[in-house]
Structure 1
């Protein structure tokens, strides 16, 4: 009997109407002048890569697209008909049994007509970057929406027939107090989204925010305050019925992000678009992070990407830094004997310290370990 091997597809839309102060992702504000050429190149890549061997498939296995995630940048900068063209191309090129099609949207881009259009093309989950319900902080981030626009956007998405809504929130603003963060979380819960992602504000080199930090115009909050905010987040969302299933992600029952979960559970995925990454068993590839080079290369039928072969040691390290982010953790018996022995020996110190635990064959972080997850993972890395 033929076995269907599920994999995900990520589609990168590197356009934004404006750049947020903290953003380190590859994007441009030239969407209106470059959209047509970029979409044509994207469609060409999707078809072109159908010809490449999908090395994660064994004998008798057929690859089937299970999830699609349209991210960015700001995918909602695209005309809705171009979203439809992209999704149609995927469905025409690959066998699909889609459970989840997520599209990232900015609150200020959302209209009844736009959401109805993309829903008609197959989008069934919206991920919305709200970040904060404090208008002064939204201005600081250079976001284009207000708290009221964000609340109205959630209502618009539901009115258009998409009930699976995820929102992003951010904590750790300069000068932010724990009580102010708790109020943001409370307002997020009031909207009753099916999924909430929450991240600490990061000062990434090369961003305007990092420049402000270097010039002494802003200051990072104390580590103790950041930990208290994260503790409070877990408590508030757990009390509201959200499952803390990954370090930064919380979901109502049956509403985990299926696509993102594939990243953490060693499921293959193909990434299309400038700067997009792909992962199949034994190799990892990345497209050039330059829209013009990406478009020009695909006009000649050449995919502008580089490839890395993943050896056993690298694959083990990848599992440690992904699976241990999840509630379930890493199933130790799935590892080769060499790595099983290594990880249990390396984990002992963290287990004794109460940072990790072993349950039903799964090695996972404890709540105490969540706050020092990077340190714990470094202890377990092989190479």
Structure 2
């Protein structure tokens, strides 16, 4: 099964933490939709005819699309690719875009899963992050979506936002659970260099929280969601039974996917493809019937490293037999002393030849993965 990701590179305003590719100038939005459709046509053979079971509209802010623009994209996808009848079709949305009328349009168009960028229910934190919505919209949009009939809703939350204690984070978690959404994605606030927060950090206007503070909030996230019936199936992703994000799970399981739109990435098992992250150059290339992308053929050690990095983040872990059989590499024997120490320290488990991080190990996921990487 394969997936298709469509990057809509427009936002109403720039969040202070975001380093994704987007523009706040939406004057060429209609032109961009037509260019994405043209790219879909040019890329129709990228997945080799494989059945598509997930479509994901990301960004940027895809909820800025009009009903007509969204319908055009979905119609083109249906004409160009073999899509399963029960495909998961996700649209990222901001709370300020989601009124009852817009939600009805999205549902009628064929969207069956919403990923809502709430980030926080606390008004001062929303202003600090420079989000376009307010605290009331954060709560109300979920209820509106449920009233319209959406029964597969994910919300995003950010933790480790600077505060004097954990009370706001505790409240955010309580409000998220009270909404009875099926899926929660939660990410630690990271200060990226080319963002407003990055600039503030350089100027001394912002101080990053201590690692222990972030770790405590992560542990609160784990315990609170587990107590309320959510399964952590990837380090940042939690769901009620049978509500995994199929699209993101395909990424972590190394299934092929096509990414279209400026800044989108693709993967077909052998190489990665990276679209140019510039709206004007992207549009120009498509008018010239060119795919504005570069390809990176993955060496064997790169494929192994990517599998380690993604596999360790999931509840399924890394399949040591798969690595040995498919890549001819014995991960355990090559790292026996290190892995045995992690086992003794309670950072990993070994279950039927699967290497799985424990809760304490998840706090060190990136470090453990990088320690296991093959360096060439």
- How would you bin the TM-score normalised by the shorter chain? over 0.9
* Aligned match of 1:34: 28
Report the alpha carbon displacement of residue 186 of structure 1 after superposing the two structures with TM: 0.7
Gaps of at least 5 residues in structure 2 are none
Secondary structure of 1:316's match?
A: helix
Q: Write out aligned runs for 1:297-312 (5 A).
A: 297-312=285-300
* Aligned match of 1:326: 314
Structure 1 residues 99-140: Cα deviation after superposition (integer angstroms, max 9, x where no partner): 310000000001222111121221100000111111011011
Question: Is residue 83 of structure 1 aligned with residue 70 of structure 2?
Answer: yes
* Aligned match of 2:347: 355
**Alpha-carbon distance change, 136 to 271 in structure 1, aligned in 2, over 3 angstroms:** same
1:282 to 252, 270, 290: 270
* Aligned match of 1:66: 53
* Aligned match of 1:48: 42
Structure 1 residues 178-218: Cα deviation after superposition (integer angstroms, max 9, x where no partner): 22211111111111110001111110001001111121112
**Alpha-carbon distance change, 176 to 307 in structure 1, aligned in 2, over 3 angstroms:** farther
More divergent stretch after superposition (335-344 vs 154-163): 335-344
* Aligned match of 2:365: 373
1:225 to 213, 225, 233: 213
Report the alpha carbon displacement of residue 51 of structure 1 after superposing the two structures with TM: 4.1
Secondary structure of 1:17's match?
A: coil
Report the alpha carbon displacement of residue 300 of structure 1 after superposing the two structures with TM: 1.1
Question: Is residue 14 of structure 1 aligned with residue 9 of structure 2?
Answer: yes
Structure 1 residues 321-369: Cα deviation after superposition (integer angstroms, max 9, x where no partner): 1011001101111123575423444133322322111112211111110
Cα contact 1:22–1:203 (8 A) shared by 2: yes
CA distance, structure 1, for counterparts of residue 276 and residue 121 of structure 2: 36
Cα contact 2:324–2:331 (8 A) shared by 1: no
CA distance, structure 1, for counterparts of residue 12 and residue 164 of structure 2: 27
TM-score (norm 1): 0.94
Question: Is residue 253 of structure 1 aligned with residue 211 of structure 2?
Answer: no
Q: Write out aligned runs for 1:266-281 (5 A).
A: 266-281=254-269
Task: Compute the RMSD of aligned alpha carbons.
Answer: 1.3
Structure 1 residues 262-295: Cα deviation after superposition (integer angstroms, max 9, x where no partner): 1110111000100000001111001000011111
Cα contact 1:343–1:380 (8 A) shared by 2: no
Structure 1 residues 13-51: Cα deviation after superposition (integer angstroms, max 9, x where no partner): 0100001010000000011x1111100100000011114
CA distance, structure 2, for counterparts of residue 213 and residue 297 of structure 1: 37
Cα contact 1:333–1:340 (8 A) shared by 2: no
CA distance, structure 2, for counterparts of residue 176 and residue 260 of structure 1: 34
TM-score (norm 2): 0.96
More divergent stretch after superposition (335-344 vs 164-173): 335-344
More divergent stretch after superposition (215-224 vs 123-132): 215-224
CA distance, structure 2, for counterparts of residue 69 and residue 106 of structure 1: 15
Gaps of at least 5 residues in structure 1 are 1-5
More divergent stretch after superposition (350-359 vs 245-254): 350-359
More divergent stretch after superposition (329-338 vs 154-163): 329-338
